[in-house]
A and B are shown apart, each in its own frame.
Chain A
């Protein structure tokens, strides 16, 4: 190193002073520390910065339906979803009533149980635009003397089928057997469904139209 920096002329003849040595040392240490800090900072944080979308690839399908809460009953494998203008495909003439009450989406799925069956429980999950509208459609369909059940914001059960509303959602849980044999199952499933819906104004699931992924 000295030969590299030797100059073609006279230079300071003596050894350098102590102040200069100390100062130089300090500067070298500081600069080395800075470089080390940069390198460490970069290598420690060098990894995959989380790209949020990749995390959700486990869910390959919108699956609003929770598990049934019962051993033999499987959650719906196949979920049908309907936008407002497609509603009639599922519920025919009744679609008008729902459209008047501001329906945003219908999710339909079937819980199945192979034991003693196959037994089924159909779930019609209507997302309305406001809780007020959910309440109105709930009242419109409610039989006046139906016994209430403590599910969601308000609910009742008639003939084994459970109807309840929670937030801006209106749900019908309808067993396949008409003799009320699966009434208790319907209650359990309804309770599970109410559990995944938040009771705040915003529905947990969002409209089908105009989503930007």
Chain B
């Protein structure tokens, strides 16, 4: 170094160290974690909640809660229109879907099977549900499911992907980034009360984007839960290792019934798997319309009652013995506050007695 030290020199050369000291001190102060808890992975923090997709439908009290239509497979359009139209004779689907809505339709695409086997939603039923939504003026229609087998193969072989593309809707194939923690209840679940779910990774991205949710599920036998219908349909939204829930399947299904309040559910009974569900595999297990004998579609704003009706009239079994129905009713009743729009009645005859069930032959 040459020359004398000027003040400017000192300032310039000293400032760097001082500045660095200040940054280090500030950084240390801001990031300090004395007990080590701040730095740990926070799984419980970003738990999301699902909205009530039925809340702004404005469903009139005197409208039917369940509507069935029976017909032929060749005239599926009339059957689906009649079923949904039965819920509101004036407006039909427009009662539920408004212009500008983003609709998520959740069919059952759980298995890599041809549609004739009844393990998945009939593509034609899905086609007309999509068409009705489009006529009601939606902005976007999403179709998704989370099967255990390869999603691309399942959507293709069940005929769903072709129908969705023909109708101009979108398929969302589930990917890792679409999943997020969704909470059912705030506290730890109490097994004694039949509670199982606290929060769990679910296929949240389409649920967050949607303003209305429609479930379109086939009615079929299930080896563990006794039947897989509208409420079991939401099982397909669970992520991670959901096979664990088989240990408490009725509690899980009723928790899902509590979590998800859809706009509408459509039960597909065009071909009902009477035995060996949920994957089935024998054509001899299939019966069109189950016990009724004719292909049937049921639309309802009350998924629990719809399940009860389908269990009794399509599968020919006693709904009082279906454990998850009662559990679902109790949980919904306990949770729903006064004035909130939410139906969860497990005794469908109560609706029938009030004339809130319609049936039409197409």
Contacts and interface: CB of A to CB of B under 8 A. Distances in A.
Nearest to A48: B162
B73 interface: yes
A53 B282 contact: no
A42 interface: no
B72 A62 contact: no
A23 interface: no
Interface stretch (B108-116, B300-308, B324-332): B108-116
Most buried by A among B113, B114, B122, B157: B114
A77 interface: yes
Given A51-B157, A54-B156, A54-B162, A59 B283 contact: no
A61 B271 contact: yes
Contacts of A105: 284
A56 interface: yes
Interface size bracket, B side: 20 to 34
B3 to A, nearest CB: 42
Given A61-B286, A61-B288, A208-B283, A53 B114 contact: yes
Contact of B284 (A51, A58, A208): A208
A21 interface: no
Interface of A is mostly: loop
A38 interface: no
Given A54-B157, A57-B116, A78 B123 contact: no
Nearest to B286: A61
Contacts of B156: 48, 51, 54
B292 to A, nearest CB: 9
A61 B114 contact: no
Nearest to A205: B283
A124 B113 CA distance: 30
B118 to A, nearest CB: 8
Interface size bracket, A side: 20 to 34
B73 A83 contact: no
B84 to A, nearest CB: 20
A43 interface: no
B114 A213 contact: yes
Contacts of B271: 60-61
B109 to A, nearest CB: 12
A212 interface: yes
Interface in A181-213: 208-209, 211-213
Interface string B97-132: 000000000000000011111000011100000000
Contact of B116 (A51, A61, A82): A61
Interface of B: 72-73, 113-117, 122-124, 156-159, 162, 270-271, 281-284, 286, 288-289, 293-295
